[in-house]
Chain A
Amino acid sequence: MLRAIGKRDIFEEVWPKKRLIVLKLLQQETVSQREWQDLFFGVHFVCLWDEKGAAKIYDCLQQDIVEFIVQAQSKVQSQRGEQALLATYIVEWRKFFTQSNYLPLPFRQLEQSPQVKPQSSSATSSTSASACAGASTSSNAASSSNQASTSSSSTAKASTSSAAAAAAASGSSSASTSASTSAAGNASSSKKSPTEDSPVRKLMLDSWNKHIFHDIKNRLQESAMKIVHAERNGDAYDAQLVVGVRESYVNLSSNAQDKLEIYREHFELAYLKATAEFYRLKSAEQQQENGVLAYMKYADAKLHEEEVRAKRYLEPSSFSVLTYTLVKVLIVDHLNSILAECPDLIRDYETERLNLMFRLMDRVLHGVGVEAMMGDLQRHIMSAGLADMLAASEIITQDSEKYVERLLELFNKFSDLVHNAFNDDPRFLTARDIAFKTVVNDTSVFKMELPTSMANRGVKYTAPESKCPELLANYCDMLLRRTPLSKRLTSEQIDARLRDVLLVLKYVNNKDVFMRYHKVHLTRRLILGTSADSEKEEDIVEWLREVGMPADYVNRLARMFQDIKVSEDLNTQFRNSISRHDAINIKILNAGAWARCSERVSVSLPIELEDYIPDVEEFYKKKHSGRKLQWYHHMSNGTITFVNDFGRYDLDVTTFQMAVLFAWNQRQHDKISYENLRLATELPDPELRRTLWSLVAFPKIKKQILLMEPAAISSPKDFAENTLFYINQEFAIVKNGKSQRRGKLNLIGRLQLSTERSQQEDNQSIVQLRILRTQEAIIKIMKVRKRMNNAALQGELIDILKNMFLPSKKMIKEQLEWLIEHKYMRRDDDDINMFIYVA
């Protein structure tokens, strides 16, 4: 039987009939299930019995395909109009493409044959004898045919992704081209269809590429671009045509590694070019006609529109390159003219337009546009902020409340701008912060003078610093002390304002100045017991810790509160031990924690007090052996009752004032000379002058408690040895123009924490501390690093010190020299900028 069949030319015998089915399939004519199965069988049969069968079928199939394509080509080429050409092409292409998913199925067996493996379309006349023999091949064919038969497809319409199932479900013979091809198109870029690797399919697509596409692809492309162009101009169009063209580009690729090669090199390129050209013209036109601001809206709208369009017409892989092209044409090419509008928009708080500009600029690579905008913002905040402060300088230099409020108003305004216009983008927040820093640390409105070098170390000159930290501390004091301001505000309002203070403090370079003033104020509040709310006092200490104030500083503040609490306990114990001292309070401060406690001033206390003091000292000695009390009478204070013919008044006074006033207790009508008062009180000259002045010229009271002779002295410096002082027998507390019979008056004012020291000396101690901190930090760094160059050292130094102050270059240099001179470190012999730690 084998031999009998072998003698005949099986191919010639079988194929002509089967070929008719192939032609029908190509033409998309209806094919019965029987015919479809026949085709499978025919291919199988020929391959089985004719050793060159596979090659013969392949050759024949190729001829048929080419013939079909040539027919289709002539149909397409005969179209004159763009739309018609496209439409015809797409119809033909879709038919063909659909078939390319089905026609290969019956020819699967050919895949096994080395005769059809080669890439060339002509089958080789291989003599290979192994052609498709064997049971496995036949069973393969059978299963293929089974599969096809269950699909019962005649016109072979099915989705390529799940051929069998989908085909079984549809089962109809008519091809709804649009739906199926679009499914096929989608699938082409995702899942593999079962026929995808088939040589027959490749043959089909290659032939199409060679005989139609190659010739007319430029026309196709142009036509598609014309449609897109029309669409951009708002004319009627048929989007499906463009989609169809793209699909044929995508599906014609025979490069397995890069399926989008043809698409990218032709379609995408043409699309990008057309897009760029279109908008190059349009954008110039738009800008000229409607101005830059309108143009920004246009650009924004078009960017969006084109992104939507790209989703229709382009493969996803093209989106980013398209966006790049669009950004280039629509934004980058107009960068300068757009950015030129930025300063004015910021000035006018045009948040919406700024936001639009920001969105546009944020698309530009490398942040060039955004950086320019940040620069504009920074410059604006600086100049507007400084101008604002300067305009209000008369009020704000006098009034720390107004200053802080003004500053906060500015901050909030600019923070709103950054929020609304720039969506709180971190880059703009940074620009804002840099600008705030400049405003806060500016010295043109007001400043404090700090000596840059110590007096004992050569030249002395001053470097101006912002007064901001001092004013912040003053404002803090107003909120925390019992003042009209703190009484007016609710607890929540005070909290909010304290938070505001900390916000501003964040921008202050020299926080050490704030710390010093804050501590001085706190000392006064704790000594005089004038805190509005002791809980808040302790809250703010923790807040200061949270915002990064140095731990040792914060710990010292906490220590101050602890001292006050311990003192309260001590007072209770003291009063319990000695019943006659109900009126006595003691506050024992731990040296070191408090602001400047080291100085002591001698004073001769009133006899009444002199009695108490030994009792207190004795009591303390019993409580704490090995310790000795040291009195700080310049901080001690009390309340005295002053009785005269007009009434009975409670006066809050310092111990010095008390000492002076009690000089008259035994001789109330005497006039006592300055000299005699000094002998009586034993106060040092500057303290006595200051104390007397506070009793003869206390601000804002109608009647002073002391009078002097001559009365015309205008300054404590003008007191002479023989200037006479006497009790004002008419003294009374006056309220609303009326003398009161009873009342309370505070004559302490601002408690002096130190002896007579000038502001200069105060500031000097700030500088002194800075020098120490700088030296310490240098040693600390060098100890770890051992060797370090100047620049790196300065960097680390500033990092360590920045929560306290910003060390000046000059100071760093001086301290480095000092440390070198004192052998803590040395310079490298070969490199003057290299420092070496010396243990």
Chain B
Amino acid sequence: MLKLFKKTKDKIPKSEIIIEPKELKTPPLSKCGKPLLLDNTRWERRLHKELMSLIKEPPPGVTVDTESVQQNLSEWKINIKGFEGTLYEGEDFQLLFKFNNKYPFDSPEVTFIGNNIPVHPHVYSNGHICLSILTEDWSPALSVQSVCLSIASMLSSCREKKRPPDNTLYVKTCNKNPKKTKWWYHDDSV
């Protein structure tokens, strides 16, 4: 695995994606007649939907820290467990998702936080993750759940617990926001 990185200037696409509240819409009635509650802030509804489904039907090993989400819908803490039969079995990790108001058109900022940062060739000791779907391969069809699953599978497929080779330099010089790192994804096999 080889990774190069360099910092780039913030490149926020200049487009018309400014989200403002607008007139309340008439809520559609669900088929069973039970009121569908509408949170009227347009795109935030998607985030809310994702949260609800993640709480109600979490994928194995993934739990949302509801306490943290209650404070602020734009920052979620999510706990994931190392799967059985992998190098991380029995370990607990915590991910921090930060959403800006362009979500889902812009990817969430995802990092490992807490005491236990997994030792993994794609995870830096400051919690930054080198995963293409978190930056240039992001698609609005992805979701918190799919990101969690990708990270879980990234961990599961690891054959040797070690930090990325450029870890020391990167951690010293990188931006706080991993999205500002220009990643070179050379190796998808690990």
Contact surface of A with B, Cβ cutoff 8 Å: 456, 550-553, 556, 592, 765, 768-769, 771-773, 775-777, 779-780, 783, 819, 822-824, 838-839
Contacts and interface: CB of A to CB of B under 8 A. Distances in A.
A768 B35 contact: yes
Nearest to A455: B33
A838 B29 contact: no
B35 A839 contact: no
Contact of B24 (A556, A768, A771, A780): A780
20 contacts: A456-B33, A551-B23, A552-B25, A592-B28, A765-B29, A771-B35, A772-B27, A772-B37, A772-B38, A773-B27, A776-B27, A776-B38, A777-B24, A779-B38, A779-B39, A779-B40, A783-B39, A824-B39, A839-B69, A839-B71
Contacts of B69: 839
Interface of B: 23-29, 33-41, 69-74
Given A552-B23, A592-B26, A776-B24, 12 more contacts: A552-B24, A556-B26, A768-B33, A768-B35, A773-B27, A783-B39, A783-B41, A822-B37, A824-B37, A824-B39, A839-B73, A839-B74
B56 to A, nearest CB: 12
Q: Is the interface of A mostly helix, strand, loop or mixed?
A: helix
Contacts of A777: 24
B101 to A, nearest CB: 13
A839 B27 contact: no
A765 B35 CA distance: 10
Contacts of A780: 24, 40
A691 to B, nearest CB: 27
Contacts of B24: 550, 552, 776-777, 780
A777 B35 CA distance: 14
A765 B27 CA distance: 12
Contacts of A552: 23-26
A838 B68 CA distance: 11
Contact of B34 (A456, A819, A823, A824): A456
Contacts of B41: 783
B40 A839 contact: no
Given A779-B37, A780-B40, A839 B29 contact: no
A520 to B, nearest CB: 16
Contacts of A773: 27
A839 B34 contact: no
A776 B74 CA distance: 21
A439 to B, nearest CB: 31
Nearest to B74: A839
A592 B39 CA distance: 19
A809 B28 CA distance: 25
A590 to B, nearest CB: 13
B70 A838 contact: yes
Nearest to A784: B21
Contacts of B34: 456
A372 B27 CA distance: 46
A454 to B, nearest CB: 8
Given A552-B24, A592-B28, A771-B35, A776 B71 contact: no
A88 to B, nearest CB: 85
A772 B72 contact: no
Given A551-B23, A552-B23, A780-B24, A775 B35 contact: yes
B70 A839 contact: yes
B70 A776 contact: no
A780 B27 CA distance: 14
Contacts of A551: 23
Nearest to B35: A772
B67 to A, nearest CB: 11
A556 B40 CA distance: 18
Contacts of A779: 37-40
Contacts of B23: 551-552
A768 B29 contact: yes
A833 to B, nearest CB: 20
A273 B27 CA distance: 72
A769 B39 CA distance: 15
Contacts of A771: 35
B136 to A, nearest CB: 29
